[in-house]
Amino acid sequence: MNNWENNVRKVTPYVPGEQPKEAGIIKLNTNENPYPPSPRVRQVLEEALENDGTDRLRLYPDPTSEDLVSALAEYYKLDNDQIFVGVGSDDVIAMCFLTFFNSDKPILFPDITYSFYDVWADLFRIPYKTCPLDRDFNIVKEDYYAENGGIIFPNPNAPTGVETPLSDIEEIIARNPNSVVMVDEAYIDFGGESALPLIGKYDNLLVVQTFSKSRSMAGMRIGYAMGHKKLIKYLNDVKYSFNSYTMNRTAIALGKVAVQDEYYFNETRNKIIATRERVKKELKALGFTFPDSKSNFIFATHKEKKAEDIFKALKKAHIYVRYFKKPRIDNYLRITVGTDDEMDRLISFLKDYL
């Protein structure tokens, strides 16, 4: 018997939402944007194919991803050295865990939150402690005043959609000058208030965002962190010790033009916000309750029907939503906000079913 398995890094992996192969389903289970990316993205992709075909793929991409970083810097009025880019915010956050969470003290995050945080903590052998949300799924800021080796939470939180007031976030950052505090703003563009204005004031704050939701580019895998240049330098040191070429040529080129198309960005996110507010009213009328969502999903529970049953019935009808069989949230459905037409079909199914 060989025992190389004794030396394996054993982990329980994160389970992403289903990506069904069949056509014709209404996909409201992984918080993607129902609208296509900016038309500029398509145009640049077509131009690139016409001009040099695939020839440039012979060459490594720019390890600094300067075109993309500069476009982000211009959009957010920052310096390039305040921005770090990666392969989706998952890559960026994982890199941050590796770089900044190296204390013997536990890192802190909410008990109900993005279910990748505990996976990364386990992967990197980082001790962690979860802080229970209150009954209405709010973060209790005082929990984060305890000794810790770092802090991370999404704002708005996932899968609840609940926003933490910026004043509470600032207090958490100010009370933790010896820890890096990461605010995961994957869903911030759907109505939340970003902590970005605080990065000039606190050198321990990192704000992480993504192209996967509000910029309709989950398939392209682009995420970024913004913070004090010292934080970004440390992140880049770790990145260059791991893989210099995280961002491919296509991601750099398409990400750049997506950021520059502010008009389209505002148009689509406003459409999603409007649809969300309408669907909130319709779900309420059907007997659902939910914490107020500032994201592109609604975390709903029904006063009579079990979430798991609704989830199964919806799936049978080719409407996919997300259900988490986990303590405190096993009677909730996370419903991504799709197009108006998709949401009409969801509501119409629910009306019949209920």
Continuous segment of H or E residues that includes residue 326: none
Backbone angles phi, psi at 280, to 5 degrees: -55, -45
Residue 117 CB burial class (10 angstroms; 0-12, 13-18, ≥19) = buried
Query: Could you check whether the bond before residue 156 is cis, i.e. omega within 30 degrees of 0?
Result: yes
Least distance in angstroms from the C-beta of 111 to ligand PMP: 15
Q: How far is the CB of 86 from ligand PMP (least distance, A)?
A: 9
126: Cβ–Cβ under 8 A, 6 or more apart, which residues?
A: 97, 101, 102, 107, 120, 149, 150
Instruction: Give the nearer residue to ligand PMP in terms of CB position, either 96 or 314.
Output: 96
Per DSSP, the residues of 217-235 read -GGG--EEEEE-HHHHHHH
Token digits for 321?
Answer: 């939503």
Q: Which is nearer to ligand PMP, 163 or 184 (CB)?
A: 184
* Shorter beta-carbon distance to ligand PMP: residue 61 or 192: 192
Evaluated on CA atoms 166, 171, 172, 178, the torsion sign reads positive
Nearer to ligand PMP, 198 or 222 (CB): 222
Closest contact distance (angstroms) between CB of 94 and ligand PMP is: 9
CB-nearest residue to ligand PMP: 88
Given the complex with ligand PMP, which of 186 and 321 has the nearer CB atom? 186
Q: Is the omega angle on the peptide bond into residue 159 within 30 degrees of 0, that is, cis?
A: yes
- Count CA atoms within 13 Å of residue 236 on its CB side: 19
User: Taking a C-beta distance cutoff of 8 angstroms, is the pair 234, 209 a contact?
Assistant: no
| Structural contact between residues 84 and 73, judged by C-beta atoms closer than 8 angstroms | no
- The distance of closest approach from Cβ of residue 163 to ligand PMP in the complex, given in angstroms and rounded to an integer, is 13
Pick 114 or 137: Cβ nearer ligand PMP: 114
* 291 vs 349 by CB, closer to ligand PMP: 291
153/311 with CB nearer ligand PMP: 153
Are 305 and 289 in contact, with CB atoms under 8 Å apart? no
Nearest-approach distance from CB 217 to ligand PMP, in angstroms:
9
Question: CA 229 to CA 167: how far, in whole Å?
Answer: 24
Taking the complex as a whole, the smallest distance from the CB of residue 218 to ligand PMP amounts, in Å, to 5
Residue type, 2: N
- Distance of alpha carbon 235 from alpha carbon 95, whole angstroms: 7
DSSP annotation of 193: P
Question: Least CB distance from residue 334 to ligand PMP, whole Å?
Answer: 10
Binding site for ligand PMP (CB under 6 A): 88-90, 114, 154, 158, 184, 186, 210, 212, 218, 223
- The distance of closest approach from Cβ of residue 16 to ligand PMP in the complex, given in angstroms and rounded to an integer, is 7
